[in-house]
Amino acid sequence: MGDVADKLAYFQAITGLEDADLCTEILSAHNWDLELAISSITTDANHHHPSSSSAAAINTRTNQEIHDVGLVLPPNVNNQTPGLAWKLITLPFSIISTSLGLISGVIGFGMWAAGGVLSYSLSVVGLNTQARSGTAPLVSVSQSAAEAVDFVSSFQRDYGTLGPNFLTEGFMDVLQRSRQEYKLMFVYLHSPEHPDTSGFCGRTLCSEMLASFLNENFVAWGGSVKASEGFKMSNSLKASRFPFCAVVMAATNQRIALLQQVEGPKSAEEMVRILQRVLEESAPVLVTARIEAEERRTNMRLREEQDAAYRAALEADQARERQLKEEQERLENEAAEAERKRKEEEEALERAAQEAAQREAALLKLREEKALSLGAEPDKASDVTQVLVRFPSGDRKGRRFHCTATIQSLYDYVDSLGCLEVDGYSLVSNFPRTVYGQDKFSLSLLEAGLHPQASLFVELK
């Protein structure tokens, strides 16, 4: 048995598998080790009654998948694993028998044995591995949707619009929708050239009874086996007879649980009975999933409300702290501003006092200088003029000047007295009224007509 052909023939004889390509891939996955390859196939067939620990492990894994997607697979109460024939048919599925009589299969996209070798029949379900490795999926989302649209259009064109409401989305999108709506997913694989297809579609699927039942209780998806995704699903679900229908629901990590498959032509009444039984057996699963999802939403809403209340309280506390801080800063700023103004006022008063003192000193000095410039008051004589000055306050001041003294001397005399607080004034005589302004400063008293005596009053400007 040293060559490949002998090993392949021996493997087919031992396992009973007739598909040479499948046997080749299984042997390749085990590096053409006959003993290891045969052992991997026959191990499950020789253990029809697993131990309680194995059953518990299956149930544990099942419940873990349930928690992730919100759908619960029924527990394996009977503790039975599928036989060899079913195991081979459903590769690479992990089948879980249920106490409700459902044949549940967890269909693993992209998983094949331990060596990761993809066969022809399994490569079309390799989305999961490719998604993890970063390579492009075999069927893009847009292509899957386009194929779904083509199928629905073709189906309605050939059989009318009374059939199930097949969604115009890719398989995984419809599966996701069924999970969100907590419904089972009805799958129909369409083989256009099969002789039973036309009758099954026209009389069974388009039956008003079956169509209404499906539309009310299931999310429906259909695909042609001639299209990429339909062919992929026919391999994934191991469709051996047509027409082919299946009922699945979402599990974890882009996997599905196979609940029921119907192969061959069936009447509408038979289909409704089968689907009704699946619904009844799956009802606890869906109800539990819906309740758990509602509890999760309620808990999430409560947490969001609590978080919102906490954030509101925190924001209120922060707002109060900001207000207190702003109030404190405002008071500090007002105090600082008041202190600044007080200092400015003190400085201004001090400057004003200094300036007033300086002005007073300057005026005093100016008066002294002007008093000195007048010289001594002359005695009475014929060339001496007697001048009387009346101030706005009513005070009168008089002095003798030489008749040759100028009008400027009279202003110097008034300034030297310090009786006026203003600088702008004029000396005026009444009869006749004459204003002795700056234009007459250089005139002598005699020339101005004020000799031998004159009476003047101060007129403020």
For residue 19, is pLDDT > 90?
Answer: no
What's the pLDDT at 390? 92
**Mean pLDDT for the stretch of residues 147-176:** 93
Q: How far is CA 176 from CA 256, 299, 391, in A?
A: 10, 23, 111
> Six-digit token pair at 197?
């297809």
For residue 98, is pLDDT > 50?
Answer: no
318 touches 326 (CB < 8 A): no
Q: Nearest Cα to 244, choosing from 253, 256, 235?
A: 235
> Six-digit token pair at 177?
């929708």
**Mean pLDDT for the stretch of residues 376-390:** 92
Check whether domain 384-460 has CATH 1.10.630.10, yes or no: no
Domain ranges of the chain: 62-295, 384-460
d(CA 354, CA 356): 5
Mean pLDDT of the chain: 77
Helix, coil or strand: residue 388: strand
Q: How far is CA 93 from CA 15, 104, 125, 133, 340, in A?
A: 18, 10, 11, 21, 86
What's the pLDDT at 15? 67
d(CA 77, CA 59): 9
What's the pLDDT at 48? 38
Q: Nearest Cα to 293, choosing from 133, 123, 70?
A: 70
What's the pLDDT at 168? 94
Which of the residue ranges 25-29, 73-77, 176-180, 429-433 would you say has the lowest mean pLDDT? 73-77
pLDDT single digits (tens) 226-251? 999 999 999 889 888 999 999 998 87
List Cβ neighbours of 48 (8 Å cut-off, separation of 6 or more).
Answer: 80, 81, 83
Say yes or no: do domains 62-295 and 384-460 share a fold: no
Q: Just give the CATH number of 62-295.
A: 3.40.30.10
Question: Which range, 120-129, 212-221, 294-303, has the best average confidence (pLDDT)?
Answer: 212-221
Helix, coil or strand: residue 245: strand
> Six-digit token pair at 356?
């007033």
What's the pLDDT at 268? 94
* Block residue for tokens 């002598």: 444
How many angstroms from the chain centroid is the CA of residue 401? Answer: 100
For residue 139, is pLDDT > 90?
Answer: no
Task: For residue 81, name the pLDDT band (cuts at 50, 70, 90).
Answer: very low
What's the pLDDT at 151? 95
Task: For residue 43, name the pLDDT band (cuts at 50, 70, 90).
Answer: low
Question: Which range, 68-77, 210-219, 437-446, has the best average confidence (pLDDT)?
Answer: 210-219
d(CA 282, CA 348): 94
Residue 251, phi-psi category: left (phi > 0), alpha (psi -120 to 50), beta (remainder)? beta
d(CA 200, CA 351): 112
Query: DSSP for 322-358?
Result: HHHHHHHHHHHHHHHHHHHHHHHHHHHHHHHHHHHHH
Say how many CA atoms lie within 13 Å of 71 toward its Cβ.
27
d(CA 143, CA 169): 10
**Higher pLDDT among residues 335 and 108, named by residue:** 335
**Mean pLDDT for the stretch of residues 174-179:** 91
374 touches 412 (CB < 8 A): yes
Task: For residue 415, name the pLDDT band (cuts at 50, 70, 90).
Answer: confident
Q: Nearest Cα to 114, choosing from 52, 57, 39?
A: 39
pLDDT single digits (tens) 439-457? 988 999 899 888 999 999 9
What's the pLDDT at 251? 76
This prediction has a pTM of 0.44
259 touches 104 (CB < 8 A): yes
CB atoms within 10 A of CB 131: 15
pLDDT single digits (tens) 315-369? 999 999 999 999 999 999 999 999 999 999 999 999 999 988 888 888 788 888 8
What's the pLDDT at 16? 66
